[in-house]
Every structure is written in structure tokens, then in C-alpha cells.
Amino acid sequence: MPRFFAVLVVLLVGSGRASADSDVGWQFLPGSNTRPVLWADGREPMSRVTGRTGQTRLEATLADGFVAFRYDADAWAVQIGLASGGYLSFDPKGSMTFALVTFDGLVSLPITFTHGDLAHTVDWTHVSAHYADGIRGVLGYGEIDTGTYSREHLRWTTAFQAGRWTPYLGARVLIHSIPEVAPLGFQAGLQWDGRADLPLFAAVDGRAAAEHGWRARLRGQVGARFEGPRDRGVQLGLECARGPDEKGKWEGREDPYCGVFLALEPQRGR
């Protein structure tokens, strides 16, 4: 078995080198990503800092992803990637004191098939959620839940790039959850990239899940978007959201807010 995997890696690396000239074949760590970045998705693996209203006035995400393998054909491509992130929320106390309130960890394995302007992604994702000491200073959330929060889900999304516009649809099913909840959820969104004329963007994401009684979670963004290092977009913008909160152990509680954010997108381009 080890010999089989060694031969497989050699073949993939070798074919990746060959495809550098032909643009057809396997690539190992290709250094680019065909999966669309869903800007207004609150669990997209993007590093970002947000100052906002609501219960947690400062939130930070440390997240990124990469493509492990990709096969390019003349008209289509398929890739397997890996993404992970830490989602932190803070309660600023003044005098440069930031009490950590919650920490959510995420690991995702996305597989993306692209054909023309269509991109279909199926991803397996694990999420765990935790409270930190700062939860004691946050009011309005009632009794602290010290139970375990852990879940895995499968999600499908399809995005269509129509010039500057990218609409997308998705569905999610929980395959394991502690505590147990209803498994189904749906997602839809639309984003606009004005970089052809102006470095501006706008995005909206909506989702609803059976575990929240199908109450909608809506998030909208507008701002400026610039080309950063290694084909990464850099965003500076405003966002507002309402509906069931996405933070693990607070998921389902209402926490509407508006805020200012700075974000670094994952690497893109082909």
C-alpha cells in the first residue's frame, strides 16, 4: 500500500509538470483556485476583522485554503482542496483589553467541478464551537450552555459567473450533530464585482435552516475591493446582517448588527 501511494504521487507530480505546457492534465498544488469565493457567506474561509454593533463588537477570522490536486481538461476542470479557519468574537473593554467570548473552529474539504462559467462545489465540513472566559461579561444571552457543540455537514453550491454578476444556490445536510438538530438548510446569494470600471463590490447572502424554523439569515455587503498579493482580493467595506446568529453555541439566537470590515480573500485565478 505505501508503494501504491508513492507511485500515485509521482504520477500526479509528473503529470502536473507536463500540464504546465499543455494546460491539460493533473496538477499537484497548482497554486490557483477555480472555486468561487462567496464574499457574504459568514463561514467562507477568508481572513477578516470586523468592528460591529450587537453583542460581540469585535470579530476576527483567521482562515485560508489551498488546492491539493486539480485536473484541467480543454473545457472543464475538477479540483480537491482543503480549508480551515478560526472564528473569534471579542468583547472590547477599553484600555486595549479584548475579552475573548467565543471560538469556532472549521475544517473543510471542497471538491469543485467547473465547466465554462458554471462552478459546482460539494464540501464536507466539520465545525466545533466553544465559549471563552469573556462570555461572563456579555449580557442578554441568558444561561450559558456548557454542552458540546460539534457537527459535520455536506453542502452543495452552484455558482454562475455572468460577467460582473455571480448568483449562486446551495443546500446543506447535517450528517452528524451534537446536539441533534433538524438536518436540512438552503442558501442563495448574489455578488457584483465592479473592478472593470471601479474597485467596488456588493454582495448579499441568504440562508434558512430547519433547525431555526426556516427563519432567514440575511447578510449584505458593499465596499471597495483591490487586487492584493498572489491574486488575492483585499476588501474594505460595510456589512449588515439580521436573523439567526451563525456563531456555534449562539447559533439561532437573534443578533442583528452593522459593521466595518477588512478582509483578505483566498487565492484565485487559473
**61-84 tens-digit pLDDT:** 999 999 999 999 988 999 999 999
Residue 114 CB neighbour total at 10 angstroms: 22
The pLDDT assigned to 49 comes to 96
User: At 210, which helix (H) or strand (E)?
Assistant: none
Summarize pLDDT for 54-64 with one digit per residue, the tens. Answer: 878 899 999 99
Sign of CA dihedral 55, 106, 72, 172: negative
All structural domains of the chain, each given as residue ranges with its CATH number in brackets, are: 45-264 (2.40.230.10)
Mapped onto helix, strand or coil, the DSSP state of residue 231 is helix
- Strands (E) in 46-183, as ranges, are 47-52, 58-72, 76-94, 97-115, 118-131, 149-160, 165-178
Mean pLDDT of 13-29: 60
Q: What is the mean pLDDT of the chain?
A: 85
The set of cell numbers assigned to 102 is 467565543
Instruction: Please calculate the CA angle 56-58-62 and round it to the nearest 5 degrees.
Output: 115
Mean pLDDT of 213-225: 95
* pLDDT level of residue 95 (50, 70, 90 thresholds): low
Task: Report the amino acid identity of residue 234.
Answer: V
Mean pLDDT of 107-117: 95
Mean pLDDT of 43-55: 91
Q: What is the pTM of this model?
A: 0.84
Closest CA to 105 of 122, 126, 91, 124: 126
Q: Give the least confident one: 2-6, 85-89, 110-114, 117-121.
A: 2-6
Summarize pLDDT for 165-205 with one digit per residue, the tens. Answer: 999 999 999 999 998 999 999 999 999 998 767 899 999 99
pLDDT at residue 22 tops 70: no
* pLDDT level of residue 102 (50, 70, 90 thresholds): confident
Query: Residue 25 and residue 111: Cα distance in Å, rounded?
Result: 17
The pLDDT assigned to 99 comes to 80
The pLDDT assigned to 145 comes to 62
pLDDT at residue 270 tops 70: no
Query: Residue 150 and residue 176: Cα distance in Å, rounded?
Result: 8
